[in-house]
Amino acid sequence: MLFPTHAVGSPGPLPASAAFVSVKTPDGIVLHGVHIPPAHEPKSRLLVLGFGGNAWNGSDVAAFLHRLYPEAQIVAFHYRGYRPSTGSPSAKALLADAPIIRDFAVQLVKPVVTVAAGFSIGSGVAASLAREGLVNGAILVTPFDSLKAAAADLFPWLPVGLFFEHEMDAGAFLTATDVPVAIIAGEHDTLIRPVRTEGLRRKARNLVFDRTIPGAGHNDIYERSEFTAAMREALVQVAVNQVKGGS
């Protein structure tokens, strides 16, 4: 249920400027991704790294972020085990692959400012990069403080903690960093319960933007105009001022 690779749909269209990229991990896994340059600023010094939900196609993550942030360099990869990337997914593997993806993307576009944008399970991956100081900011959408706790919320009648092997302790990640963080959540999210997002808020040392989209759930949040506005404002808060200062 955590990594439904069989449920990931075929990618939608990409802009003509998109390029397919790949990187090999130390354990021999080949990760495949997409780089989309800015629509109007080919020398943009802002990089946005995308980490999608557990049923997202990596190409669609890149295309979605490009629509949100046409001024930025966009890079997003298919998680390991998600075709065409090889290997098998796990929380440990996704967290280990994230710095490799970050280093590849930074070498590719040589940005001044790098922001990780993580959605659902990808919010834990993005938070881990913030903990390591590998990004200048993080935008976390429908995030959680603990993946184990989020799973336990969904199955309160099961002893989830006894057998759960895929923890992402996003709360601990944000407690350990001063990297600016934005949180965007849905008011009626029934998959990542509001208590899990509230736990993350309390632990974030540098929460610079916090927005709950009224009436939104876990999946329909993306269809709301308030969400698009929040994502734009979040980027301003975590990154744009830094870009201006570093240019």
pLDDT tens sequence across 119-135: 999 999 999 999 999 99
The residue type found at 201 is R
The candidate with the shortest Cα–Cα distance to 77, out of 33, 143, 36, is 33
Q: How far apart are CA 222 and CA 181, in angstroms?
A: 19
pLDDT recorded at residue 176: 95
Residue 50 has pLDDT above 50, yes or no: yes
b/e sequence 21-50, b meaning 16+ C-beta within 10 Å: bebebeeebebbbbbbbbeeeeebbbbbbb
At residue 245 the predicted structure's pLDDT band, cuts being 50, 70 and 90, is very low
Average pLDDT of the segment spanning 75-81: 97
Average pLDDT of the segment spanning 40-62: 92
More confident residue, 131 or 1: 131
pLDDT recorded at residue 148: 86
At residue 247 the predicted structure's pLDDT band, cuts being 50, 70 and 90, is very low
63: number of CA atoms within 13 Å, CB side?
A: 12
132: left (phi over 0), alpha (psi -120 to 50) or beta: alpha
| E strand or H helix at 203 | helix 194-203
At residue 163 the predicted structure's pLDDT band, cuts being 50, 70 and 90, is low
pLDDT recorded at residue 6: 86
At residue 246 the predicted structure's pLDDT band, cuts being 50, 70 and 90, is very low
pLDDT recorded at residue 178: 95
Q: How far apart are CA 197 and CA 93, in angstroms?
A: 23
Query: DSSP letter at 179?
Result: S
- Token digits of residue 205: 């040392």
Q: What percent of the chain has pLDDT over 90?
A: 81
| E strand or H helix at 135 | none
The candidate with the shortest Cα–Cα distance to 221, out of 247, 182, 178, 192, is 192
Q: What is the pLDDT of residues 178-211, one digit of tens each?
A: 999 999 999 999 999 999 999 999 999 999 999 9
Is residue 74 within 8 A of residue 50, CB to CB? The reply is yes
- Token digits of residue 190: 């029934």
| Domains defined for the chain, CATH in brackets | 13-246 (3.40.50.1820)
Distances (CA, A) of 69 to 94, 172, 237: 24, 29, 14
